[in-house]
């Protein structure tokens, strides 16, 4: 059998030795400025390094300098860019904590208001209302708090979150079993009123949509399942 006599190029660069199909420069000095732009795993035990050289490396460095200059101009009054950024991050963290405290207090007020509107019908405590909150996580938190504090609960909340409608249905497990209700089915049907849809578990489900003006109709639609 004839042997393959094709030559294999071996490239040595410092301690690195590689098999290469061909080089693109005659000497390493032609590479010029060299900057690594990314590094990461691409397979088990294999990592990939990407770099730029020559004119692209110059552009990369210049872009980085422009970015640093823009950051420095943004945090005026700070000669040390790193300390200025760290200070802004600290301020952001403190403001986030203050906002969280405010949101919790606001949620207490909303919850107390909703509990004052409980309507008892055929052994079921019904709460159905529209609220305004900053994020859907707060609606979920509110729903579970009410579930833990109000027995035999059938809860329907229509919330406007950053200008978008959200429908939440929470039902006590015993009501789900006794009346054969399913929160997921309810929000799928009622969610059409806000031009959206959703789903979830038999005792808890949510739906998002596009039409805030349909929130009240969605709430009313959800209530019909309890009365049917």
Residue 124, domain member (yes or no): yes
Give me the residues paired with residue 49 across strands: 39
pLDDT at 5 exceeding the cut of 70? no
Spatial contact of 145 and 125, defined as CB atoms under 8 Å apart: no
Residue 148, domain member (yes or no): yes
- Count the neighbouring beta carbons within 10 Å of the beta carbon of residue 133: 20
Residue 89, domain member (yes or no): no
Q: Do 198 and 130 belong together in one domain?
A: yes
For residue 135, the domain's CATH number is 3.10.310.40
Q: Do 125 and 212 belong together in one domain?
A: yes
Give burial (CB, 10 Å; 0-12/13-18/19+) of 139: buried
Range of lowest pLDDT (80-89, 117-126, 147-156, 193-202):
80-89
Q: Which helix (H) or strand (E) holds 131?
A: strand 124-133
**Tokens representing 51?**
């770099």
pLDDT at 7 exceeding the cut of 60? yes
pLDDT of residue 21: 61
pLDDT of residue 1: 42
Residue 131, domain member (yes or no): yes
The dihedral region occupied by 162, where left means phi > 0, alpha psi between -120 and 50, and beta the remainder, is left
Q: Residue 207 sits in which domain range?
A: 114-227
Residue 65, domain member (yes or no): no
Q: Do 47 and 124 belong together in one domain?
A: no
Average pLDDT, stretch 29-53?
Answer: 87
Q: Which helix (H) or strand (E) holds 52?
A: strand 46-53
pLDDT band at 2 (very low <50, low <70, confident <90, very high): very low
Residue in the structure block whose two tokens are 């799928």: 188
pLDDT at 12 exceeding the cut of 90? no
Q: Do 37 and 141 belong together in one domain?
A: no
Average pLDDT, stretch 99-107?
Answer: 83
pLDDT at 228 exceeding the cut of 70? no
pLDDT at 102 exceeding the cut of 90? no
pLDDT band at 6 (very low <50, low <70, confident <90, very high): low
Average pLDDT, stretch 183-205?
Answer: 94
Question: Structurally, how many domains does the chain consist of?
Answer: 2
């Amino acid at each position: 059998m004839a042997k393959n006599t094709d030559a294999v190029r071996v490239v040595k660069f410092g301690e690195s030795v590689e098999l290469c199909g061909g080089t693109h420069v005659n000497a390493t000095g032609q590479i010029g400025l060299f900057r690594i732009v990314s590094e990461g795993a691409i397979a088990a035990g294999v990592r990939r390094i990407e770099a730029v050289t020559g004119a692209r490396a110059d552009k990369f460095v210049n872009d980085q300098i422009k970015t640093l200059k823009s950051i420095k101009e943004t945090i005026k009054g700070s000669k040390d860019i790193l300390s200025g950024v760290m200070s802004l991050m600290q301020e952001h963290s403190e403001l986030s904590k203050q906002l969280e405290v405010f949101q919790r207090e606001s949620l207490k007020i909303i919850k107390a208001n909703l509990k004052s509107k409980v309507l008892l019908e055929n052994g079921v405590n019904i709460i159905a209302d529209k609220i305004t909150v900053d994020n859907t996580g707060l609606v979920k938190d509110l729903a579970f708090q009410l579930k833990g504090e109000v027995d035999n609960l059938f809860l329907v909340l229509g919330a406007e979150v950053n200008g978008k409608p959200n429908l939440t249905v929470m039902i006590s497990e015993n009501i789900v079993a006794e009346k054969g209700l399913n929160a997921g089915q309810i929000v799928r049907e009622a969610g059409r009123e806000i031009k959206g849809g959703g789903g979830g578990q038999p005792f808890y489900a949510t739906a998002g949509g596009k039409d805030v003006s349909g929130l009240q109709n969605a709430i009313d639609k959800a209530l019909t399942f309890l009365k049917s």
